[in-house]
Amino acid sequence: MSLNKLNLIILVVFLCFAFSSSAVNASEKWELLYKPKQRIVKSIGLHGDYIFIGTTNGIYVSSDKGKTWDDFGNSLLPKDLNGTLNVNWIYIDSSLKTIYIATSVGAFSSDLIKPTWTRIFELSKTEDSSVNSIFVNDNEAYLGTQDGAWKCDLETLNCIRMNQGLHPDPVDGNFSILSISHYNGTLYLTSTSGVYKYDAIFDKWDPINNGLQFLPDGRLVANYLGVDSDRRLWLASATGVYFSADENNNWYKHDEGISGDVDGNAISNFIAFNNELICVGAQDGIYCIRDIDEGNWLDFSYGLKTKNDLKSVYWILFDNKIAYAGTDEGLYIRDFTDEQFFIPDETILLKGQIESDFANLESLEPTVIEVQKKALKFAALPTSFDYKKYGLLARARNLIPRVAFDLNSTGTNTNLLELDKGISTDKLLNNEFDSGKTLRTQNDGRTFSQVSLLWNTNNFIYDSEIKDLLNHARLTANIRENILDDVTRIYYQRRQLQLESFVNPPDTSPEKLNNKLEIAQLTGQLDSRTGGWFSREVEKRKKEAGIRNNG
């Protein structure tokens, strides 16, 4: 064995020992507990040793704390038009040993131990029959649907709609209710048009949106509302995290430290509480804080691996000090028992020289947010401001009348002109009369003109062009989302290859060339989506770093 190979083996053994000795324990990282076939876990429920998870393909259960898993009576539940069953929400009533689920085809209840699914609600008035959430209180189930809020008597299964005071979604016109909850003796509701508080005296919902930031399209997308140990309300929304601590329900934004999207919004899906601990399930991970006065949220995403490296977290549930998280890539678990757990995850990532090299690389290359912004700029898609302008122009067009000009004439006046043109003379003085050469003209006796103005007043009520603009806006939003997903996927694939080259450097020249080619290929894909900006920006930063180092 050569000396170089022996040194390499010793180095590898040393690194393995170093990483194993400093490896994070269960309290320092998330561990994958279960990955269902369709991967996505949207909701979680706990009862003793039983763990229930709602997925995009039914509901599953473990009776031994996650060691083994089985489907929980999925054959007894209907499927949607796509042949699947999205379980959006799980609610467990331990006193009655009953589990309730909100799905893409309605709401159902069952015994906790043995599946005995019974339909308690079906939405048939809208194309989308999804039930987004379910909450049970005093033998009444409160349901959030695409057609508003519903209250069902669990004994008679009679359901009534509770939409008094609610505002429709400003984009599609639906009453999209995302969650209903009950805190401090009061019902609260979150929707795509904001947050509402129920007034039992007047039997209506009152909006409580003061301080909340709405999206450019007029929506808010309030995903979930919860209350902490100090009775403060917390809201997870598409524009960030908010809290309210006064009787007037004024909201205050508090999402410093949570990573934002390309527009700077800290998109949050869920919020969970465990004594003094508050954790948010966000679009790119999990963030926690102990005291709102102590500073920024800390990133606790280490160990999560989710779709396209965007760590989308849909649900967080605590069982004492054990936390469960539903993500794009399955169900994760983390132990928060360690009293020293409250250390940001970034302090335990990438030790030693690897950390230094990788951090230096990050300083020389654009962030994923910068690349996303350049990709959107290069695509030159219309913005929400553009569509608002187009809509105003379409409305203003109806104020301008159509102008018509008409010139007409009536009556007749026939005159015989130049009769001599019908007589011809030749050299022999033979005269002939040709009546066909007689010119006759006919002029109108009277003429008049008419100018008319026409307003299409029906377009003030319904204008088909406004509908076309909304359809184009939805299409643009889909294209925008695809561009962002594509750029993000390529960016992190490239970053992963770079990290692997630091952790496990290629040994042979072909391996090194192959690694460089793979990185170059992904670099080219980023250039094609940013008009060559990515490579130019990298070279620019390298030159600036060289100048600083030389100075």
pLDDT in tens, 479-505: 888 899 999 999 999 988 888 887 777
Question: 146 near 174, Cβ under 8 Å?
Answer: yes
For residue 390, the model assigns a pLDDT of: 66
Phi/psi of residue 5, each to 5°?
A: -65, -40
Concatenate the DSSP letters of all residues of 199-249 into one string.
ETTTTEEEE--TTPPPPTTS---EEEEEE-TT--EEEEETTEEEEE-STT-
Question: 410 near 445, Cβ under 8 Å?
Answer: yes
> 25-351 belongs to which homologous superfamily?
YVTN repeat-like/Quinoprotein amine dehydrogenase (2.130.10.10)
Q: Angle at the Cα of 315 (from 310 to 318), degrees rounded to 5?
A: 125
For residue 542, the model assigns a pLDDT of: 79
For residue 490, the model assigns a pLDDT of: 93
Q: How far is CA 219 from CA 172, 215, 216, 328, 468, in A?
A: 10, 5, 7, 25, 19
Question: 455 near 404, Cβ under 8 Å?
Answer: no
Which ranges constitute the DSSP H helices of 348-405?
Answer: 352-364, 368-379, 384-397
Cα atoms in the 13 Å half-sphere on the side-chain side of 306: 26
Residues 129, 147: Cα–Cα separation, whole Å? 9
For residue 463, the model assigns a pLDDT of: 62
29-60 burial, b at 16+ Cβ within 10 Å, e below that, comes to bbeebbebeeebbbbbbbbeebbbbbbbbbbb
Instruction: Tell me the residue length of the chain.
Output: 551
Cα dihedral: 466, 471, 473, 479 (round 10): -160
Going residue by residue through the chain (551 aa), what tens digit of pLDDT does each one get?
444 444 444 444 444 444 343 333 445 689 999 999 888 999 999 999 999 999 999 999 999 999 999 999 999 999 988 889 999 999 999 888 999 999 999 999 999 999 999 999 987 666 678 999 999 998 999 999 999 999 999 999 999 999 999 999 999 899 999 999 998 889 999 999 999 999 999 999 999 999 999 999 989 999 999 999 889 999 999 999 999 988 778 999 999 999 888 888 999 999 999 988 999 999 989 999 987 777 789 989 888 876 655 679 999 999 998 999 999 999 999 998 764 455 555 554 444 455 556 666 777 788 899 999 999 888 887 776 766 776 676 666 666 676 666 666 555 554 444 444 444 445 444 555 555 555 555 555 556 666 676 666 656 655 666 667 667 777 888 888 889 999 999 999 998 888 888 777 777 778 888 888 999 999 999 999 999 999 999 888 877 765 444 43
Domain borders along the chain are 25-351, 368-394+463-550
The dihedral built from the CA positions of residue 288, 294, 296 and 298, taken in this order, carries a sign that is: negative
For residue 288, the model assigns a pLDDT of: 93
Q: What is the percent of the chain with per-residue pLDDT over 70, rounded to a whole number?
A: 72
For the entire predicted model, the pTM comes to 0.63
Residues 239, 491: Cα–Cα separation, whole Å? 24
Q: List the beta strands (DSSP E) in 438-497.
A: 439-454
Phi/psi of residue 350, each to 5°?
A: 50, 80
The two beta strands, 431-433 and 439-454, are unpaired
- Max CA pair span of the chain: 136
Q: Angle at the Cα of 380 (from 379 to 385), degrees rounded to 5?
A: 135
Residues 510, 404: Cα–Cα separation, whole Å? 77
